[in-house]
């Protein structure tokens, strides 16, 4: 197991280097002059030159890249062009809200999605299956911005129970995590269902039934463990996506997370923030993939030795 | 929640009784805005919103009232010499910064010198780049001496970029002054992080009886629907901007109201007067006749605007209505003029603009109007970076690819000079300034120069009247509309306003 882990971790290093190169390059290959954007629409030519100088944008590009690598190693991305506070501080400020929202959304979505999926698979072709799948399809189909605004209209404007948004109270977490989790729950339900149905057809399940193992045990031990592999993959992927910050949900519920920071930064061409965020998202994905691999190995010992 | 407000009310009551103040329920004013603030150092801000947040805490020698007229704040009066090179300001007595230090002539000098310091460039340096030096005459009198005449100096000093910050705080915080503003304003800065900006009442504010609310909080809520929901749910009492399509939602609620503010934002299409076919004034006139400005207003801005009656918005001082009701809509005349200019079957052209839905809608409307007179328009929205490259950074006029450009302009100094010089001055082609029409007229140029060379009202009035007439007849633009700004607010709120430049002002905010 340890061996397996070390192999996986060593494999990550070149991936990170390539990502760093891409992250640096692509921002600088975009058209447009960041100095002019930072200086603003009313700035005169002299103002623009002042901005360029004060941000170091007048230096040659390879010098800028060398500095970027060195600083990235120290997790230092300079200051945001927009707010002029350190990028890492800017990200730290938004990381917690996004992580919190992701965990809440994932937690309820995984549990409910799994239960609905299992219930549908077990009762395949009967009404719990239909109900479960109607919920799942609706969950996938509801656009988050529409659902979010609808929830706000009902629970904030009409009933006055929940705040329209913001990160100030625990109550503020309810609507965004519901909206964010709904799609995930739906995907989870469908995945669990089909994975379950597939495993049900396996010989060893028939054997288990044949030797008189109780139904409950067949479902929760024999089937679930085997059906979990694709589901874990799915959870990992979704987790990664959500950690990138949901742009729509964060915008609708004015949630101060990473997704909104990214949109704001792109609109403003806040290079350092964009770079740091993309690097962070890549790292998150790499870590999640690693975790997923480890979980596979736990769920299915055969994988460790391949 | 009800319990909370009772506690608050009781606290306010106790406070009111002990302080012997007015017997009213004060509370914190929550303002919903669309964007995040970028900085609290207005000398380095280029967005009006950040200036608005700064205005909660800081203020300048002069400010603008709700009609964009100059209003004395930290200065009580000024005198200027005849050729507009020396401005003497008399300062308000007994004003203290939030850190307890005195506001005086020395502080004014330090602030102006800070903004114009060439070694530590600020984004708003150009507001005071014409200053030669600042003289402290006595603690309450300061003289600003210019290198060249500049008649709009008081307006420049009223701009958010020249808000007065405590010199002690500047020394203490250095560059971090942009997160720690210490001023003389009605509220004291408390906290700014992410989406929230908070300031609390300044108990020692110089204006008798103000502020009337306990504090001001800005919440940035980018989604329009969510922002309006905050207002409907009572979480915010003032939201800006209010998109015109959501105005009916606010109107329908009996506790809320929509406030229309005529703005100093003008909408126009600049035509590249150096390029065919726009080098012919008849073509430019034709396109002015081809567009129905009232319909433009309805389609693009939900009716919240009015046809432009001159090349600068109505509300700016020295603005004259060259043509009442705007340039008339007359497609027949447009066709005749095009035929006269040698384009009886029209021509093809392209229009640039920023890439957002309102701008695209505007261009599509124009496309349809142009088509009526045989002009085939290609609409090209440009992402900000590309726009900078294709329009603003082009070094030589002959290399400019822009044929026409749809845009808007807000003269943030509130003076006509900043509405004319950047856009119509023959020495202001990109990348220097913003004259995308590459318009150059001897008369206009001398008029613009003469107008700024004096602080004398009568002289400026006559110079600028001539300039506006000249521009109107040269028609380098399709003169479209003056915007109106919409604010959604609780009916119980008074004294809070968005000025015609979009600058927010909460000095006199009060709840009924």
- Take residue B195 and report the two structure tokens written for it: 């989406």
The whole-chain average pLDDT of chain A stands at: 82
Biggest distance spanned by C-alpha atoms of chain B: 81
* B46 vs A41, A94, A148: nearest CB: A41
The owner of tokens 């609905």 is A116
Whole-angstrom distance, CA of residue B148 vs CA of residue B186:
35
- Among B117, B385, B387, the strongest candidate for a mutation testing the A interface, having the largest count of A CBs within 10 A, is B385
- Mode of pairing for the β-strands spanning B497-498 and B493-494: unpaired
Q: What is the pLDDT of residue B23?
A: 39
- Take residue B87 and report the two structure tokens written for it: 């401005």
* B39 vs A30, A43, A83: nearest CB: A83
In 3D space, the residue among B97, B54, B61, B72 whose CA is nearest the CA of residue B204 turns out to be B97
**ipTM of the prediction:** 0.73
Backbone φ, ψ for residue B33 (5° rounding): -125, 165
- CB contacts, 8 Å: B4 with chain A: none
The shortest C-alpha distance from B208 to chain A (Å) reads 34
Is a pLDDT exceeding 90 seen at residue A247?
Answer: no
In 3D space, the residue among B260, B60, B248, B20 whose CA is nearest the CA of residue B157 turns out to be B60
- Take residue B469 and report the two structure tokens written for it: 């007439």
Answer for the pair B504, B217: CB distance below 8 angstroms, yes or no: no
Q: In chain B, count H helices and then E strands.
A: 15, 21
Backbone φ, ψ for residue A224 (5° rounding): -55, -50
- CB contacts, 8 Å: B44 with chain A: 84
Q: What is the pLDDT of residue B1?
A: 39
Whole-angstrom distance, CA of residue A96 vs CA of residue A91:
9
Sign of CA dihedral B386, B390, B391, B392: positive
Backbone φ, ψ for residue A160 (5° rounding): 70, 25
The shortest C-alpha distance from A225 to chain B (Å) reads 43
Which 8-state DSSP code applies to residue B245?
G
Is a pLDDT exceeding 80 seen at residue A25?
Answer: no
- Give Cβ neighbours of residue A179 (< 8 Å, ≥ 6 apart): A144, A147, A148, A151, A249, A252, A253
Is a pLDDT exceeding 70 seen at residue A304?
Answer: no
Which 8-state DSSP code applies to residue B328?
P
Q: What is the pLDDT of residue A138?
A: 85
- CB contacts, 8 Å: A34 with chain B: 385
* Mean pLDDT in residue range A178-188: 89
Asked whether the beta carbons of residue A157 and residue B233 sit closer than 8 angstroms, the reply is yes
The shortest C-alpha distance from B389 to chain A (Å) reads 5
Q: Residue A306: helix, strand or coil by DSSP?
A: coil
Answer for the pair B307, B297: CB distance below 8 angstroms, yes or no: yes
Asked whether the beta carbons of residue A165 and residue B47 sit closer than 8 angstroms, the reply is no
- CB contacts, 8 Å: A161 with chain B: none
Asked whether the beta carbons of residue A46 and residue B225 sit closer than 8 angstroms, the reply is no
Q: Chain A residue closest to B47 (CA)?
A: A40
Asked whether the beta carbons of residue B194 and residue A252 sit closer than 8 angstroms, the reply is no
- Mode of pairing for the β-strands spanning B376-382 and B504-505: unpaired
Is a pLDDT exceeding 80 seen at residue A79?
Answer: no
How many degrees, rounded to 5, is the angle at CA B65 between CA B59 and CA B71?
65
Answer for the pair B82, B88: CB distance below 8 angstroms, yes or no: no
In 3D space, the residue among B162, B183, B186, B154 whose CA is nearest the CA of residue B70 turns out to be B154
Answer for the pair B472, B479: CB distance below 8 angstroms, yes or no: yes
- CB contacts, 8 Å: B233 with chain A: 156-157, 160, 163-164
Q: How many Cβ atoms sit within 10 Å of the Cβ of residue B159?
A: 26
Q: Rounding to the nearest 10 degrees, give the CA dihedral for residues B144, B148, B151, B152.
A: -70
DSSP B69-118: -EEESSEEEEEE-TTS-EEEEEEPTT-B-TTSPBP-HHHHHHHHHHHH-S
* Mean pLDDT in residue range A130-159: 87
Answer for the pair B184, B197: CB distance below 8 angstroms, yes or no: no
- CB contacts, 8 Å: A157 with chain B: 229, 232-233
Asked whether the beta carbons of residue A149 and residue B194 sit closer than 8 angstroms, the reply is no
Sign of CA dihedral A182, A187, A191, A193: positive
The shortest C-alpha distance from A41 to chain B (Å) reads 8
* More confident site: A205 or B379: B379
Whole-Å CA distances, B450 to A91, B156, B463: 51, 18, 7
The shortest C-alpha distance from B112 to chain A (Å) reads 16
Whole-angstrom distance, CA of residue B198 vs CA of residue A271:
28
Backbone φ, ψ for residue B304 (5° rounding): -90, 65
Asked whether the beta carbons of residue A252 and residue B226 sit closer than 8 angstroms, the reply is yes
Beta strands in B342-476 (DSSP E): 348-354, 376-382, 404-410
| pLDDT, mean of each 10-residue run, chain B (512 residues) | 42 40 65 88 86 95 91 95 93 95 95 88 85 95 94 92 95 89 96 90 94 94 88 93 88 93 93 94 96 94 92 91 94 96 95 87 95 95 80 86 92 88 92 91 94 89 95 96 93 93 93 89
Whole-angstrom distance, CA of residue A50 vs CA of residue B46:
14
- Among A35, A42, A247, the strongest candidate for a mutation testing the B interface, having the largest count of B CBs within 10 A, is A42
- Take residue A49 and report the two structure tokens written for it: 């030159």
DSSP B336-381: HHHHHTT-TT--EEEEEEESSHHHHHHHHHHHHHHHHTT-EEEEEE
Whole-Å CA distances, B371 to B76, B169, B273, B291: 55, 59, 21, 10
The shortest C-alpha distance from B510 to chain A (Å) reads 24
- Take residue A35 and report the two structure tokens written for it: 């100095």
HEC sequence for A158-188: HCCCCCCCCCCCHHHHHHHHHHHHHHHHHHH
Which 8-state DSSP code applies to residue A143?
-
Answer for the pair B258, B303: CB distance below 8 angstroms, yes or no: no
- Give Cβ neighbours of residue B252 (< 8 Å, ≥ 6 apart): none
Asked whether the beta carbons of residue A51 and residue B123 sit closer than 8 angstroms, the reply is yes
In 3D space, the residue among B309, B239, B340, B251 whose CA is nearest the CA of residue B471 turns out to be B309
Asked whether the beta carbons of residue B226 and residue A165 sit closer than 8 angstroms, the reply is yes
Q: How many Cβ atoms sit within 10 Å of the Cβ of residue A134?
A: 10
* B195 vs A34, A254, A267: nearest CB: A254
- CB contacts, 8 Å: B47 with chain A: 40
Asked whether the beta carbons of residue A82 and residue B38 sit closer than 8 angstroms, the reply is yes
Q: Chain B residue closest to A41 (CA)?
A: B46
HEC sequence for B116-165: HCCCCCCCCHHHCCCEEEEEEEECCEEEEEECCCCCCHHHHHHCHHHCEC
Whole-angstrom distance, CA of residue B278 vs CA of residue B271:
6
- Mode of pairing for the β-strands spanning B376-382 and B404-410: unpaired
Q: Chain A residue closest to B356 (CA)?
A: A267
The shortest C-alpha distance from B213 to chain A (Å) reads 22
A95-109, A222-236, B224-238, B251-265: the lowest-pLDDT one: A222-236
Q: Chain B residue closest to A254 (CA)?
A: B221
DSSP B283-304: HHHHHHHH--HHHHHHHHHTT-
- CB contacts, 8 Å: B179 with chain A: 85
HEC sequence for B18-76: HHCCCCCCCCEEEEEECCCCCCCCHHHCCCHHHHHHHHHHCECCEEECCCCCEEECCEE
The percent of residues in chain A predicted with pLDDT above 70, rounded, is 92
Whole-angstrom distance, CA of residue B170 vs CA of residue B204:
21
Sign of CA dihedral B311, B316, B321, B322: negative
Whole-angstrom distance, CA of residue A212 vs CA of residue A205:
11
Q: What is the pLDDT of residue B335?
A: 95
- Among B37, B161, B384, the strongest candidate for a mutation testing the A interface, having the largest count of A CBs within 10 A, is B384
Whole-angstrom distance, CA of residue A284 vs CA of residue B199:
37
The shortest C-alpha distance from B168 to chain A (Å) reads 22
* Mean pLDDT in residue range A95-123: 89
DSSP B497-511: EE-TTS-EE-TT-EE
Whole-angstrom distance, CA of residue A109 vs CA of residue A99:
15
């Amino acid at each position: 197991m340890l061996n397996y882990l070390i192999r996986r971790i060593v494999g990550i290093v070149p991936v990170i280097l390539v990502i760093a190169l891409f992250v640096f390059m692509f921002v600088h290959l975009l058209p447009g002059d960041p100095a002019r954007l930072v200086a603003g629409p009313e700035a005169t030519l002299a103002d623009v030159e002042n901005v360029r100088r004060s941000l170091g944008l007048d230096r040659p590009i390879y010098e800028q890249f060398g500095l970027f690598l060195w600083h990235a190693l120290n997790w230092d991305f300079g200051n945001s062009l927009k707010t002029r506070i350190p990028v890492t501080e800017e990200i730290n400020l938004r990381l917690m809200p996004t992580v919190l929202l992701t965990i809440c959304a994932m937690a309820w979505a995984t549990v409910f999605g799994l239960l609905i999926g299992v219930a549908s698979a077990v009762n395949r072709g009967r009404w719990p299956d239909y109900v479960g799948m109607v919920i799942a399809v609706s969950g996938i189909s509801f656009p988050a911005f529409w659902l979010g605004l609808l929830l706000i209209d009902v629970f904030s404007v009409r009933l006055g129970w929940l705040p329209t948004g913001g990160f100030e109270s625990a109550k503020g977490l309810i609507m965004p995590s519901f909206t964010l989790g709904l799609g995930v729950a739906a995907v989870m339900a469908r995945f669990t269902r089909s994975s379950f149905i597939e495993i049900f057809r396996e010989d060893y399940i028939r054997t288990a039934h044949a030797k008189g193992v109780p139904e409950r045990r067949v479902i929760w031990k024999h089937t679930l463990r085997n059906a979990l592999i694709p589901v874990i993959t799915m959870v990992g992927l979704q987790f990664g996506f959500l950690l990138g910050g949901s742009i729509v949900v964060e915008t609708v519920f004015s949630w101060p997370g990473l997704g909104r920071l990214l949109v704001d930064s792109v609109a403003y061409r806040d290079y350092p923030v964009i770079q740091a965020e993309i690097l962070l998202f890549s790292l998150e994905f790499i870590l999640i993939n690693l975790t997923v691999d480890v979980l596979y190995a736990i769920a299915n010992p055969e994988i460790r030795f391949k | 929640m009800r319990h909370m407000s009772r506690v608050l009310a009781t606290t306010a009551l106790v406070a009111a009784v002990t302080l012997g103040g007015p017997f009213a329920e004060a509370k914190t004013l929550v303002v919903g805005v669309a964007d995040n603030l970028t900085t609290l150092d207005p000398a380095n801000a280029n967005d009006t919103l950040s200036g608005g947040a700064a205005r909660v805490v800081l203020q300048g020698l002069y400010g603008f009232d709700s009609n964009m007229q100059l209003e004395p704040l930290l200065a009580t009066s000024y005198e200027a010499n005849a050729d507009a090179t020396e401005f003497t300001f008399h300062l308000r007595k007994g004003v203290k910064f939030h850190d307890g230090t005195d506001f005086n002539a020395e502080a004014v000098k330090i602030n102006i010198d800070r903004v114009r310091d060439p070694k530590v460039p600020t984004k708003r340096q150009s507001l005071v780049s014409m200053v030669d030096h600042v003289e402290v005459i006595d603690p309450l009198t300061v003289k600003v001496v210019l290198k060249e005449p500049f008649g709009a100096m008081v307006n420049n000093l009223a701009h958010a970029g020249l808000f007065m910050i405590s010199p002690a705080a500047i020394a203490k915080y250095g560059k971090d002054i942009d997160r720690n503003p210490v001023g003389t304003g009605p509220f004291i800065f408390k906290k700014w992080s992410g989406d929230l900006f908070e300031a609390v009442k300044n108990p020692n504010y110089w204006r008798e009886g103000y502020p009337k609310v306990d504090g001001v909080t800005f919440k940035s809520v980018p989604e329009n629907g969510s922002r309006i929901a905050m207002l409907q749910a009572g979480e915010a009492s003032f939201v800006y901007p209010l998109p015109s399509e959501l105005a009916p939602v606010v109107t329908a609620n009996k506790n809320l109201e929509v406030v229309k503010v005529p703005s100093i934002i003008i909408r126009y299409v600049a035509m590249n007067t150096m390029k065919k076919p726009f080098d012919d004034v008849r073509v430019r006139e034709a396109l002015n006749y081809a567009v129905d400005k009232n319909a433009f207003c309805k389609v693009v801005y939900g009716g919240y605007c009015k046809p432009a009656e001159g090349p600068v918005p109505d509300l700016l001082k020295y603005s004259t209505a060259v043509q009442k009701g705007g340039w008339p809509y007359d497609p027949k005349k447009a066709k005749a003029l095009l035929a006269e200019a040698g384009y009886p079957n029209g021509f093809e052209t392209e229009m640039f603009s920023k890439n957002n839905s309102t701008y695209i809608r505007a261009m599509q409307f124009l496309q349809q109007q142009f088509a009526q007179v045989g002009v085939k328009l290609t609409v090209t929205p440009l992402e900000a970076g590309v726009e900078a490259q294709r329009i603003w950074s082009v070094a030589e006029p002959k290399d400019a690819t822009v044929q026409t450009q749809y845009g808007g302009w807000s003269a943030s100094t509130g003076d006509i000079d900043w509405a004319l010089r950047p856009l119509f001055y023959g020495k202001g082609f990109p990348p220097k300034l913003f004259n995308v029409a590459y318009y150059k007229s001897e008369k206009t140029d001398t008029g613009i120069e003469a107008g700024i060379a004096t602080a004398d009202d009568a002289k400026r009035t006559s110079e600028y009247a001539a300039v506006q007439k000249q521009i109107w007849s040269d028609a380098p633009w399709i003169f479209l509309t003056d915007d109106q700004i919409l604010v959604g607010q609780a009916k119980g709120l008074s004294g809070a306003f968005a000025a015609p430049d979009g600058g927010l002002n909460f000095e006199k905010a009060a709840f009924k």
